[in-house]
Amino acid sequence: MVKEDNFTQSETDVLIIGAGPAGLMAAYWMARYGVNARIIDKRDTKVFQGHADGLRARTLELFDSMGFQHRVIQEGTISTVVNIWVPSTQGELVRQASINISRTDESPFYNTCLTQGRIERFIIDSIREHSDLDVEYSVIAETLDYDEELSNDPNSYPITVQVQALGEDDTKVEARCEAAGNEVTRDNLLPDDWADIVPRKKSRKTQVETIKAKYLIGCDGAHSWTRKQLKIPVEGSTTDHVWGVIDVVPLSDFPDVRRLSVVNSATGTILVVPRERSLVRFYVPVQTCEAGAADRFDRSKITPDLIRARVQAIFAPFTFDFKECSWWTVYQVGQRISAQSTKDNRIFLAGDAVHTHSPKMGLGMNMSLQDGFNVGWKIALAVAGILKPEVLETYALERHPLAEMLLEFDRNWSPMFNDRKPEGVDTKASDMALIAERFEDFADGWKVFYPPSSLVRKAEDNVEFAFARHMIPGERVRPVKLRNQADGTPLWTTRLLESDGRFRILVLAGDIRNPMQRQRIETLNRALAEQTGSSISPLGRYMEIPGQFKNPVDVLTVHASPWKEVEFFDFPEILRPFDPVKGWAYDMIWCDDACISDRYCDGKAYEKWGVDQVLGALVVVRPDQYIGWVAD
């Protein structure tokens, strides 16, 4: 590091710009791998109240693999039904439909609402648990230089970013607490968030620093500075609809104010989203601009009082008011997508920097988190030398089509909320149900449609393998609860497949009481033994196994014999290797058998996975729980 007065120069393997959901997820992987990385943010704190709040069950599955889903469940509010309210023929609002939206066969988790501020808290805590990496706030990127000629040398630093770290004095803390009229106080913050604000009461001088980096991830939001520096165009447009969003403790006699609801009254449409700590979020149309005048609405005219009045009008004759408002904002719906997600696979865009859309599907934060998760593990493994840089191509290949699908969904879904009462309101619930159904797998995150690549080998018909019908390469491992063979404890696969950066070979051993099956396992055993220390096809083509990372490929065995009828030591040693300090690998042999002490451990994993109980199968799972490769 060169230092000269207030000017310093430094190198880092990975620079992340923006510490929102996407940036923090990417940083998580740097922390897990001990990658030399930095994460900067122009804001002076993380988010505390409001902002995004919708978490799909799939996102909680990822959180489980990162070790903090229990905190989300403890604090968040779940929604298992959505209710549609429309005017009756007499003009009164009536509950037209109550639609079940929980799919307990698909996931152990639920659609959950919790402020983005808490999600950022949990990811930051997880990053700190694994490393000394911490977000650098009040640091603004000012210039970006990219040397294309260096792009083919993975050890080069083709990226140069000059940043300015703002000076700060004591008064800044108070200013932080009053940002955007949404006051943050000790009373409305949880203690760990508050503790994070207080110690930063220190002064520093404004400093300029030049950071050279191998990789850059721009997670800097809808108005992405990184994207603008790269001159990547954005497609799509701002709509003419302006919405208010408000988080309040409602005073209302509307019967479903604590249930996820869409209210389509003659006066307009609002979305009711119950939240943590007695809060309810209301999305309310506050203005429709004149056609062609989309850029000219006056944001300053929208106030909480105006939003209150709009809710009152739409809710009538039900009452509505509030005294406590923890957060509010106003936004103009934009539906835009960045033309590219990467520059030469050295600079990446993730989250809102790629896609912006209507927030009313509870999808935005999920997409951003999953973008950051996807690009994060790949860069971390490439920098660590475990994966060849070529795999970085799969980021755009996998995530960009999803961004397009998101925009398509939004173009279908968003008008449901934009129009004033259309002809025949009573069709709305069924229209919404139709669209919801069409996009269900995508919206819930059950399916991501990742295409064939160096990390995904599809079946010939591009759909399924007969011996593992519901283990589709490019899709996630469907969560099941398994019993550990050694101690009998049930565990969800979402936690078992920990996001620690390892590829995993799932040996679905079938019923090992069957002598033929035991023979097949022995054969596999020998094949694996021969490959130990070398590469395992087909991953090996893209994977290098350096000395500093032990076991980038893990082998997990899941058998289908009754738990009590086999013993841990019945399995070949390579499936449960011995470590001279840690002993036998008790965490590597699992059993698909029902456990009388746990109603969710029902012995149906093989059935859910479409795998034969006797013959089993072999599945390679990527570090992000997606299936890479399946064999019998």
Give residues in contact with its own copies (CB under 8 A): 67, 70-71, 73-74, 77-78, 80-81, 98, 100, 102, 104, 110, 128-129, 190-191, 249-253, 255, 257-259, 274, 278, 323-324, 484, 486-489, 564, 567-569, 578, 580-584, 586, 595-600
Beta-carbon count within 10 A of 291 CB: 7
- What token pair was written down for 242? 């302006």
Nearer to its own copies, 191 or 317 (CB): 191
What is the Cα–Cα distance from 206 to 176, expressed in whole angstroms? 18
Q: Which DSSP letter does residue 42 get?
A: S
- What token pair was written down for 308? 């209150």
Catalytic residue, candidates 32, 118, 275, 476: 275
What is the Cα–Cα distance from 499 to 67, expressed in whole angstroms? 9
What is the Cα–Cα distance from 92 to 508, expressed in whole angstroms? 57
Catalytic residue, candidates 110, 283, 395, 450: 283
Q: What is the CA radius of gyration of the chain?
A: 26
Beta-carbon count within 10 A of 430 CB: 12
Nearer to its own copies, 1 or 581 (CB): 581
Secondary structure E strands in 339-388: 342-343, 347-349, 355-356
Q: Is 359 a catalytic residue?
A: yes
Smallest distance, its own copies to C-beta of residue 77, A: 7
Closest CA to 287 of 271, 305, 304, 268: 268
Nearer to its own copies, 205 or 582 (CB): 582
Beta-carbon count within 10 A of 491 CB: 17
Smallest distance, its own copies to C-beta of residue 304, A: 15
Smallest distance, its own copies to C-beta of residue 586, A: 5
Smallest distance, its own copies to C-beta of residue 335, A: 31
Closest CA to 416 of 262, 289, 267: 262
Q: Is 215 a catalytic residue?
A: no
Nearer to its own copies, 191 or 424 (CB): 191
Give the helix/strand (H/E) hosting 529. helix 515-531
Catalytic residue, candidates 53, 220, 371, 554: 53
Nearer to its own copies, 200 or 212 (CB): 200
Nearer to its own copies, 128 or 541 (CB): 128
What is the Cα–Cα distance from 530 to 448, expressed in whole angstroms? 35
Smallest distance, its own copies to C-beta of residue 590, A: 13
Catalytic residue, candidates 359, 389, 552, 572: 359
The terminus-to-terminus CA distance of the chain in angstroms comes to 53
Closest CA to 195 of 130, 140, 138, 125: 125
Nearer to its own copies, 73 or 266 (CB): 73
Q: Is 461 a catalytic residue?
A: no
Smallest distance, its own copies to C-beta of residue 576, A: 11
Three-state secondary-structure class, residue 498: coil
Cis (ω within 30 of 0) for the bond into 490? no
Q: Is 121 a catalytic residue?
A: no
Smallest distance, its own copies to C-beta of residue 323, A: 5
Report the catalytic residues. 53, 275, 283, 359
